[in-house]
Amino acid sequence: MDNALYVGLSRQMVLKRQMDIVANNIANADTNGFKVESLMTKETPGPPAFTLEGPRPIKFVTSDGVTRDFGQGSLRRTDAPLDVAIDGQGFFKVTTKAGDRYTRDGHLRLDDAGKLTTQNGDPVAGDGGGEIAVDPLKGEVHIAPDGTVSQGAEQVGKIGVYEFASLGVLEKTGDNLYKNPSNQQPTPATNAKLHQGMLEGSNVNSILEITRMIEVSRAYEQTTQMMTSEADLSRNSVARLGRAN
């Protein structure tokens, strides 16, 4: 396979990865707190192509990870008492079997023991790290903008909201959760406000993502056509050399 086909193949691999990311963005356009993702690329030098004119450098385009836009998603009203949206920077901290995780999804519920949890049953951490327990017999739950959870005049806990100096340390783990594999410790998000009875939507622009999907699809088709033309040219050249001999 000549260098043009190698370059085309590397381009196809990047485009396929980019298509997967765009498709995932579109699929999560209605996911609470989802953050839109983009593919980062880099140029990787390859061995020079030796031609009649001399060596020419070859550069391949390869994927270089995924970046996320943690910008604010739109808030929508649900009026559900345990739906909580974060307005500003920060994450809810939840305790899973695999360890601490962070999320922007505030679609919460109570488990059988009255603990405030995610829909998957993972306890939501209070500002001191402990769990928040609610007694259904004590009346309606009120969640203040600072995260204070109360029933009537009794304060039963405070939802913690945490932020990171560098959001790049967070890794996605599925179920709309992130983990912190670094030594960077999160700190309380002092400028964030919570809105009870509301949820933060994703920050995906569906029209923009569909446009990107069309662009990626066209680029893939053009690369395929180029590779087919190069392969045909190589076959024809070999055939002509064979007849000449």
Q: Cα separation of 177 and 162, whole Å?
A: 14
Number of independent structural domains in the chain: 2
Confidence (pLDDT) at 6: 64
pLDDT category, 214, cuts 50, 70, 90?
very high
Are both 135 and 30 inside the same structural domain? no
Higher pLDDT, 112 or 237: 112
Confidence (pLDDT) at 5: 64
pLDDT at residue 46 tops 80: no
Are both 85 and 177 inside the same structural domain? yes
Are both 79 and 196 inside the same structural domain? yes
Are both 183 and 82 inside the same structural domain? yes
Confidence (pLDDT) at 204: 97
Beta strands in the chain (DSSP E): 37-51, 54-68, 75-77, 84-87, 91-96, 99-103, 109-110, 116-117, 142-143, 148-151, 154-158, 161-163, 171-174, 177-179, 187-188, 193-196, 198-200
115 CB neighbour count, 10 Å cutoff: 17
Are both 80 and 61 inside the same structural domain? no
Domain with 229, as residue range(s), is: 3-70+204-244
Higher pLDDT, 11 or 217: 217
Are both 161 and 83 inside the same structural domain? yes
pLDDT at residue 65 tops 70: yes
pLDDT at residue 82 tops 60: yes
Are both 113 and 227 inside the same structural domain? no
pLDDT category, 1, cuts 50, 70, 90?
very low
Are both 161 and 175 inside the same structural domain? yes
pLDDT tens digit string along 111-153? 999 999 999 999 999 988 889 999 988 889 999 999 999 998 8
Are both 125 and 193 inside the same structural domain? yes
Confidence (pLDDT) at 226: 75
pLDDT tens digit string along 173-202? 989 999 999 988 999 998 999 999 999 999
Last residue of a domain, one of 200, 216, 234: 200
Tokens matching residue 182: 């670094």
Are both 63 and 9 inside the same structural domain? yes
Confidence (pLDDT) at 224: 78
Q: What is the mean pLDDT of the chain?
A: 87
Are both 108 and 210 inside the same structural domain? no
Are both 179 and 231 inside the same structural domain? no
For residues 60-79, give the mean pLDDT: 88
pLDDT tens digit string along 12-44? 888 999 999 999 999 999 999 999 999 987 776
Name the phi and psi angles at 144, rounded to 5: -80, 165
